[in-house]
Structure 1
Amino acid sequence: MTRPGADSATVRPSARHAAWHWATPEAQDVLATRDLAPILRFHRRVHGESQTETGELIGYDKTYVSAIELGKRRLTDVTALRHIADQLALPPHVLGVTDPADTDFRALIQFGQSTVRLAEIARQAGHASEAVAELWPLVARLEARARDGHAEREALRLLADARLGLGTALGNVLPEERLSTAAHWTAKSLHVVAFFDDPVLTTTALRMHGNELRKAGLLGAAVNRLIRAASLAPSPSSRAAVLPLLARAAGAIGNAPLFDRAIRETRALLDEVDHTSLVNPTALYEIELRGLIGTGRTGAAIRRAEHAAPAATSVAPQWRVIELITKGRVRQLAGDTAGAGELLDGAVREARRQRLPHQLQRVLRATADTMPAIHEAASQALAQLRSEMAA
């Protein structure tokens, strides 16, 4: 037996290993025993360590590690158990140790779940900046905890949800040249999601990441992620949440067959699933208009725009701005400059009010060299948002 912590030069597991290897369902079954013997055996198997190597990590010799694993020795010393928990990247309570910091962190998880839900409500209500402000401190604290080697399944699940929420909210408030930051955060969630074997979570993460990739201009990767999300979707409602975004990405990349299939299936699912801020007739109408333009079918887009958008009560405020811009673009293509100007002018005002720089940049492209007054208004609004973000 060796005194715990005697070798101060002991090298801890890498942050990635320490943070994630306890998140698998099999690991959770082992941890639920609260028994050090199977926990040590699981750790050694996952990392391919011998009893000697694990002993060096936790401060005991091979003989004592073997005795613990065989049930011939039982540790009860709180200091020793806390040291082992720290070296194995476990929360102390797993080994029966009451730790104030761990108690505080468990409270953070409880309140963190509410934070993620409220941030999503704020984003859907057109307050994405407030969502970012709420989520960023939560993500920072969760990541610091993971870097320190302490992680448990519920904490990692919360980290995945918080990263997804942060990335999606950033995708609303950042200008186009910085949208890769939003995709970065949704991508980071995938590293955690892989350990959960949860089709709903996996589909959600791929869907949200794929959409941020599309907004960042990484269209091929976006289509790839969204196709995979659709194929993994475990229910009609989760598949319906993917298909409109797949249609948008397919339209942006000019893939007409894929766009048409996604639109057809989404339309068919509208009668089967509950409508959301994305899955509803109004959102599908805008997606269809933009996709028809993107796939080179301007005439079809103009004809479709002759019919009013179906009413929907669940559309998020930012979708109104998106729709105004898309319909304005269709009016331009139809030669209706006055109608296009009215729609795009309204879009500028709403995009400024909701702090949507990416939508202002869409207006700038649509009005370049054709509508100088609206172009200037959009430019000024974008400059003001940039100034506010810099401050």
Structure 2
Amino acid sequence: MSGGESTQQTGTRPPPAALRPAPRHAQWHWATPQAQLLLATGDLAAIMRFHRRVHGLNQTALGALLGYDKTYISALERGKRVLDDIGSRRRVCDALHLPPHVLGVTDPTDTDHRTMLQFGESTVRLAEIARQSGHASEAVAELWPLVARLEARLADGRAERDVLHLLARAQAGLGVALGNVLPEERLATAAHWTARSLEIAEYFRDPGLTSYALRMHGNELRKANLRGAAVPRLCRAAATAPDETARAAALPLLARAAGALGDGPLFDRVTREAKTLLTRVDHTSLFNPFSLCEIHLRGLVSTGRTDLAMRLVEHGPTAGIGVAPQWRVIELVTVAHVQLLADDRGGAAQSLDRAILEAAAQRLPHQLQRVMRIAGTGLPAQHAAASRSLDRIRSELAA
């Protein structure tokens, strides 16, 4: 009698809740490197033993989960019996939260899975382009449904390694995009999503993914004024970076957080290293002379060196083609702050007027709030204009 015809098979009903895998295990255990090597063999006996070990199940409990008795489970694990029929293999895959192809089952859901991954990868890339182009709201609109779909799959126990990697990047992208479009009082929401990305990244211990998630989360923590928590994460992002390109992506964010925290020595050290890498690493929307100059300006002001900041304003680089639109707004606000400190109210007012127009057009509430803080020291017209623009954005967000 074949495995598919055994009278010991009873699995027509789902197992009791007490015998189902814990949600955390169902989400993660098949995505580990060890499990990936095991699944590649398609060895059902080894797969069953691995599942029992991860979940602390004996053969009786696994049998109850699969709808077989202990004797049949033992025979399967020893290779004395096999599952020949497609229906039984499909049912085992469903109970253990495995992709059907692992046990040789051709399933339409596999095609759907590959399509979802291709769509998801494209969505993450296009959302990043939209955000860097000054369209963070569009990035949020694209990423939100993708994250919801991937998390629903995860909750259902369908969490292959490639799904989790995609989810981590989508969550980080969503958090960063939200960090652009939300006002300061709601920036904790952005940090929430980057924290979820970091949880997945740290599980895999992939240096590149971990460094990426750490720098995204650290920067959102800084923006949410959790600077003491931001700096250690950004230090780890730089230390974990697998190459100079990844380190160059982390250093500007670490410099900004160190400056905001008032840690002058760390700020100076990181800024110097970032500038040396400019000659060896390809420039990006974040890592380029213009962005580093703005970060340097703000850090000098935060660490009490206004005189150096004033000189830097006079000799700083102009924005190049590769600079993201939001960085032009960020730089205008920072320059206005330095101009006010130098008692150049006319120059500061002009810089803030331009910043307000651009921040409103790009829907950057956090930058409008920066304008209001700076203008509050003696530029009432600019303060009022920024406040009106911020109110319009808040009304749209509420709607």
Bin the TM-score by the shorter chain: over 0.9
Say if 2:197 is the partner of 1:189. Answer: yes
Residue aligning to 2:5: none
Equivalent residue for 1:53, pick from 45, 61, 65? 61
Match of 1:3 in 2: 10
Look up the match of 1:379.
Answer: 387
Q: Is the 2:255–2:266 Cα contact (8 Å) retained in structure 1?
A: yes
More displaced 10-residue stretch of structure 1: 273-282 or 8-17: 8-17
| Residues 57 and 87 in structure 1, CA contact (< 8 A), matched pair in contact too | yes
Counterpart of 1:137 in structure 2 is 145
Aligned equivalents of 2:360, 2:108: Cα separation in 1: 46
Is the CA contact 1:23–1:195 (under 8 Å) kept in the aligned structure 2?
A: no
- Shifted more, 124-133 versus 53-62: the winner is 53-62
- The answer to whether structure 1 residue 161 and structure 2 residue 157 are counterparts is no
Match of 2:4 in 1: none
Q: Distance in 2 between matches of 1:375 and 1:236?
A: 41
The CA distance in 1 between the partners of 2:273 and 2:215, in whole Å, is 16
Question: Aligned-pair distance for 1:207?
Answer: 0.8
1:149 CA drift (Å): 0.8
Q: Given the superposition, is the C-alpha separation of residues 47 and 9 from structure 1 closer, same or farther in structure 2, using an over 3 Å criterion?
A: closer
Task: Tell me, in whole angstroms, the C-alpha distance in 1 between the residues paired with 2:375 and 2:99.
Answer: 56
Instruction: Decide which of 84, 88, 91 is 1:76's aligned counterpart.
Output: 84
Is 1:281 aligned to 2:293, yes or no? Answer: no
Q: Tell me the equivalent position of 1:172.
A: 180
- Take 1:133 and 1:273, find their aligned partners in 2: how far apart are those partners? 32
Report if the CA contact (8 A) 2:290-2:316 is conserved. no
- Contact 2:293-2:316 within 8 A present in 1 as well: no
Picking from 221, 234, 252, the partner of 2:242 is 234
1:5/1:295 Cα in 2 relative to 1: closer, same or farther (>3 Å)? farther
Q: Which amino acid in structure 2 is aligned with residue 73 of structure 1? A: R
Distance apart, 1:96 and its partner CA: 2.3
How far off is 1:252 after superposition? Answer: 0.6
1:315, CA displacement in angstroms? Answer: 1.0
Partner AA of 2:33 in structure 1? P
Cα displacement (A) at 1:85? 1.6
Normalised by the size of structure 1, how large is the TM-score? 0.97
CA contact (8 A) 1:210 1:222 kept: yes
Q: Which amino acid aligns with 2:351?
A: L
Q: Read off the aligned partner of 2:386 and give its amino acid letter.
A: A
Map Cα deviations across residues 11-67 of structure 1 (whole Å, 9 max, x no partner).
322222111111111111111112211111111222232222222222222221121
Return 5+ residue gaps in structure 1 as ranges.
none
2:154 paired residue number? 146
Partner of 2:277: 269
Which of 104, 126, 130 is equivalent to 1:122?
A: 130
3-state SS of the aligned residue for 1:257?
helix
1:204 aligned partner? 212
Partners of 1:162 and 1:255 lie apart in 2 by 32
Q: How much does 1:380 deviate?
A: 0.6
What is the identity, as a one-letter code, of the residue corresponding to 2:311? R
In structure 2, the partner of 1:317 is: 325
- Separation in 1 of the partners of 2:33 and 2:65? 24
Query: Does the CA-based 8 Å contact 2:319-2:328 persist in structure 1?
Result: no
* Residue in structure 2 matching 1:95, options 103, 106, 116: 103
For this pair of structures, how many residues does the alignment match?
A: 391
Superposition TM-score, scaled by structure 2 size:
0.95
CA RMSD after TM alignment: 1.4
Over 3 Å counting, the alpha-carbon distance change for 1:10 and 1:62 in structure 2 is farther
- For the residues of structure 2 that align with 1:15 and 1:338, how far apart are their CA atoms? 60
Moved more, 64-73 or 377-386: 64-73
**Change beyond 3 A, Cα 1:38–1:324:** same
Taking structure 1 as reference, are residues 147 and 263 closer, same or farther at Cα in structure 2, changes over 3 Å only? same
